[in-house]
Structure 1
Amino acid sequence: MSSASGRRTSDARDRDSAGRARNARPRDGLGRPLPYGADGVERQPEGVVRGPEQTVAEAQALLDAGKPFHAHEVFEDAWKSGPERERALWRGLAQLAVGLTHAARGNTTGGARLLRRGAGAVEEWAAAERAPYGLDVVGLVGWARRLADDVEGGGRPVDAAERAPRLR
């Protein structure tokens, strides 16, 4: 239910088809909620099972478009649906995307922390004889640590598209 001001009343909650609470407010390109009725960016569907190649390609396209929040959702799907042995990799990539999201939103502390955490998780894959799915693990780790240093040193939001990593 909505009030005359366009706000949701406390007894009405957005729910998905399974009845779980979901915030249906539109979002901007960095995943920030916008007022109901505003034009937002199309959200990534949740729970999509993609192959690794499709995951990397979709995430790269979203990163290039300055939508790291949405890329994080693609990585999160892979983390939740992929083989157990790869979950740490996909979770680390999701952390890198969320770190970039926070850095672009101006949250320098959270952005730097998540970039470093994601770099640490992804770095474990650098020791592999061959990086999985052609990922440039060493390059991603260096990108994340440089961006974390820049964000902490500059204290200003970054342009997400301009600072997007190359996954391969």
Structure 2
Amino acid sequence: MIRKLISLMVILSLLLFAGCGSKTDEQNKPKTETQSTAESQNSSNNQAQNSQSETSNSNDKISVTQGTTNSAKLPKEYPSDKFPIYDGSFISTVTELDGSYVLTAFSKDDVKKVIAFYNKVLEGAKVQMDTKTDESLTSFGTKSGYTYNLDVGKSSEMEGYQTIITISLQPQK
């Protein structure tokens, strides 16, 4: 069952990031409150809100939330006290599957500042693999009842944001 969950989360992550390679100004910048009236009327009503989809079969329920205009909302059950999101980040996507989470966020702050924050968050973690450079952090291990994979690095994917944060959590069984 755990292999199925991990495989499904990896596939969802790959599908999620497959669309990140396109480079158009409209796609790369979040819309702001100062968007023109004509531009607002041309966009669909659903674009004014975050998109959310849920899929389920007899045993599993998967929920995907994508921030289109505003930051995506974290599920109520997300362990924000154990794996907080860097303050002021734009949460691009959140995927939830039976207590497991994959999320992507972007920060306007320098990558070194965000890495320092997550180094403090990971204090006390049982680290299985850790790769650090001046401009990136990749860590895999266990902490507070979760197996985690955390990536922080420079990014130019979203206009105005210079750091990407990816967090993957699976509850330990």
TM tier relative to shorter chain: 0.3 to 0.5
Please give the TM-score of this superposition, normalised by the length of structure 2: 0.32
Q: Which has the higher strand share?
A: 2
Q: Which has the higher helix share?
A: 1
